[in-house]
Structures are given as C-alpha cells and as structure tokens.
Structure 1
Amino acid sequence: MADEHETFESADAGASATYPMQCSALRKNGHVVIKNRPCKIIDMSTSKTGKHGHAKVHLVATDIFTGKKLEELCPSTHNMDVPNVQRKEYQLLDVTDDDFLSLMDDNGSTKDDVKVPDGEVGERILKMFRDEEKDCNVTILTAMGEQTCMEVKEAPK
C-alpha cells in the first residue's frame, strides 16, 4: 500500500470557469450561465410560491459574446452557475493582415490571440488604428475559455 503514488497530469491556479450562486441571489446586470453560455442578466422577475412550494425566478439575459437573447426559469432556492468574467485593458500595438490584434498589458506581456470583433467595435478599432493612426486601448472580456474585445478608446497621451 505504501508504494502507491498519486500522479497529477496538470495543475492550475484552481480558478474555475464558473461558481454556483442561489438563483434568488442573482441580480440584474450580473452574470449567469444559461445553456452553457456566459450571459449578462437584463431582466428578472420572481413569481409567488405556488401550491407545491417553490417561487420561480424568470431570467432574461444576453450572451456576452454573441449578443443572443436567452431565457431561463429556475426555482429560487436552486443554484445556477455564474461565470468568472474578467475585463482587462490592453494597449493596441498592431492589427495583423488576418485581423488579429497585437496587444500589450501593463506588465509588458504581449497577447496575439484576439481577433478583431465583428460589428461596430471592430469597425471602430480599424478606423481609429488604421485610418486615423491613433494610439488605442482595448478592453478584452474573458469568460469560460472565450474572449473578445468589448470596447476601444483613444489612449491618453
């Protein structure tokens, strides 16, 4: 028995992609996981307890990456997953020919794996960086293994 050794193939900081929270504790403008997608809650309402017990919470949320609207009905005493969402600001160094952003954080570390987003934010990045040749800062949102650029602004001089 003493010669058994446990081996661990990988180790990380222990940060989970999600954490549980009771449905009744969720709030508007907070985050929640619906259908395995990280979402921002835009509306919620609670029904009264019925004949069989549980009050139900009706959540209306938008996917933080696609903007798609999702809904969920959950008993208020049940737990739902909440995504760990991180926002981080980077300085935009370059936009590659295949539309990837070359970014640098405050520590001087570079990041080259974020694509120019579709839609208005992507258009503003390309206009400010390529056409107007301004120094830009971008905000990258990361949740559940996905990331996207959420906003761009002119860097302070």
Structure 2
Amino acid sequence: MSTRPEEAGNIKVGSFIVIDGEPCKVVEVEKSKTGKHGSAKARIVGIGFFDGGKRSIVVPTDARVEVPIIKKFTAQVVAFVGDNVQLMNLEDYSTFEIPMPQEEEIKSKLSEGVEVEVWEVMGRHKIMRVRA
C-alpha cells in the first residue's frame, strides 16, 4: 500500500486520509476537548476520492491514521476503449487503461492526443484535469 502514518490531530481540511480502505479528501475536522479521564477525540469526515461516498471516523487525536501517497504525472490520451480511456505515461511511455472520468467538465475536453494530469492513489488512477 502506498500510505504513510500520520497523527489524527495533524489532519487538516483539504488533505487526504484513508477511511475504510478508501482514499478520501477531508472536508470536515472536529476536535473535542479532553474529558476528566479521557483523551481528545477527532471526528474526520471525508469524501471518497474515487467513488464520491461520504465517510467519517472518530479517533483519538494522538492515534495514527493512514494518509495516501499521491503521485502526479502527465499522460496522453491514446484511445477510447468502451467506457475506458487508454493513456500513455509521458515519463516512461507505459500505457494503461482507466475508467472514463465522471466529471462532465473533464469528459467534454477529452480527445485523442490531449495531455492530461493523472493522480495515482493507492495503485488506482484518476484524471484530474486536462492540460491546455
């Protein structure tokens, strides 16, 4: 797995975290004060990076949580194969297929030969934007 540990108290809105095995973008963080005998808790809410599902966890602020390592690179659209897009990595010229992006803004700009920015998160790929 391409993750690293991080203390839950250091997680900020806009960062990424793994919740239930799915990488999520953090949209809300609430920290409660310590009680008389307890430790401070952090409630972290995230939106799934690939599926868009809302997930939340409650953990002590000193607990370690998994943070995905994100690799960003440029790729070129080679072909459209059914509901998939075939891309060629411009760093090592390897080709791979990923599902067609759900976002209409990205989908409408895709055509063969166009360069796109791809994020690799936990072994899965997603087109983030079309390069102009």
How far has the Cα of 1:83 moved from its partner? 1.1
Q: Matches of 2:17 and 2:92 in 1, distance apart?
A: 32
Give the 3-state SS of the residue equivalent to 2:111 in structure 1. helix
Q: Matches of 1:21 and 1:56 in 2, distance apart?
A: 15
Q: Tell me the residue number matched to 1:7.
A: none
1:45 aligns with 2:45: no
What residue identity is the alignment partner of 2:108?
R
Q: Tell me the residue number matched to 1:82.
A: 67
Q: Tell me the residue number matched to 1:143.
A: 121
Q: Which has the larger radius of gyration?
A: 1
**Which 4+ residue blocks in structure 1 deviate beyond 4 angstroms?**
none
Which one of 87, 99, 106 corresponds to residue 83 of structure 2?
99
Q: Tell me the residue number matched to 1:10.
A: none
Q: Matches of 2:105 and 2:123 in 1, distance apart?
A: 21
Q: Matches of 1:138 and 1:40 in 2, distance apart?
A: 21
CA RMSD of aligned residues (A): 2.0
TM-score, structure 1 normalization: 0.73
Q: Tell me the residue number matched to 1:32.
A: 17
Q: Matches of 1:107 and 1:64 in 2, distance apart?
A: 24
Point out where structure 1 has 5 or more consecutive residues left out of the alignment. Answer: 1-15
Which structure has more strand as a fraction of its residues? 2
How far has the Cα of 1:49 moved from its partner? 0.5
Point out where structure 2 has 5 or more consecutive residues left out of the alignment. Answer: none
Percent identity of paired positions between Structure 1 and Structure 2:
26
- Listed as ranges, the matches of 1:116-127 within 5 Å are 116-121=100-105, 123-125=107-109
How far has the Cα of 1:22 moved from its partner? 0.8
Q: Matches of 1:103 and 1:75 in 2, distance apart?
A: 41
Judged with a 3 Å threshold, the aligned counterparts in structure 2 of structure 1 residues 106 and 112 are, in CA distance, closer, same or farther, namely: closer
How far has the Cα of 1:139 moved from its partner? 1.9
What residue identity is the alignment partner of 2:119?
L
TM-score, structure 2 normalization: 0.86
How many correspondences in the alignment? 132
Q: Matches of 2:13 and 2:118 in 1, distance apart?
A: 22
